């Protein structure tokens, strides 16, 4: 059994891990870069990274969300970070909302982590801080703000998350 004090990072794909092939925005979701980012950031807190899915969040199904939920429930960890595409992150947050005795933080990126100018590293750092300091519950951290995952939506016209 793993140390339940470690942070479990579940990766699901999304923009965080997208690889673009041309100017016409043809992409695929590649292997997760989360471990690389955490190593570059010299994170000393114990963590473990597990890939659950490798999909754009617009392609996630109810079964995919249940797989994410099952991974959270099966883990002994009380601190869980989930990297997720931003378009349907709130839907997954609602699926996880009734899980007790765990701090769960979903985060993503508005531009891929592989880009020179990206919010991915900052958002991942925010998620690591939030999961260690927030009460049990489900949260979304994006661009410097921590949201209750059940009271937030993505405003696509502003390309930002807004509290409800």
Helix 89-96 × helix 62-74 angle, to 10°: 50
- What's the pLDDT at 81? 98
What domains, with CATH codes, occur in the chain? 7-163 (3.40.50.1170)
φ, ψ at 67 (rounded to 5°): -65, -40
- What's the pLDDT at 1? 37
User: Could you tell me if 106 and 34 are in contact, meaning their C-beta atoms sit under 8 angstroms apart?
Assistant: no
Q: Which residues of the chain have pLDDT under 70?
A: 1-4, 17-31, 111-116
Q: Is 149 left (phi over 0), alpha (psi -120 to 50) or beta?
A: alpha
Distance (Å, whole) CA 29 – CA 61: 16
Specify the length of the chain in residues. 164
What are the beta bridge partners of residue 80? Answer: 8, 104
The DSSP output letter for 135 is P
Nearest to 60 by CA among 97, 101, 125, 14: 14
Distance (Å, whole) CA 123 – CA 63: 26
Distance (Å, whole) CA 106 – CA 141: 6
- What's the pLDDT at 13? 84
Each residue of 80-97: pLDDT tens digit?
999 999 999 999 999 999
- What's the pLDDT at 40? 86
Q: Which residue has 């114990």 as its token pair?
A: 46
- What's the pLDDT at 2? 43
């Amino acid at each position: 059994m793993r140390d339940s004090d470690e942070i479990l990072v579940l990766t699901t794909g999304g923009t965080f891990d997208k690889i673009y092939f041309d100017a016409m925005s043809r992409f695929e979701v590649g292997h997760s870069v989360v471990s690389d980012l955490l190593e570059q950031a010299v994170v000393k807190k114990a963590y473990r990274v597990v890939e659950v899915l490798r999909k754009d969040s617009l392609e996630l199904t109810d079964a995919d969300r249940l797989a994410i939920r099952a991974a959270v429930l099966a883990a002994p960890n009380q601190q869980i970070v989930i990297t997720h595409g931003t378009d349907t992150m709130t839907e997954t947050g609602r699926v996880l909302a009734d899980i007790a005795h765990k701090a769960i933080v979903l985060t993503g990126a508005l531009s891929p982590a592989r880009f020179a100018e990206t919010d991915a590293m900052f958002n991942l750092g925010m998620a690591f801080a939030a999961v260690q300091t927030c009460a049990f519950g489900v949260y979304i951290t994006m661009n410097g703000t921590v949201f209750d995952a059940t009271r937030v939506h993505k405003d696509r016209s502003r390309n930002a998350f807004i509290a409800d």
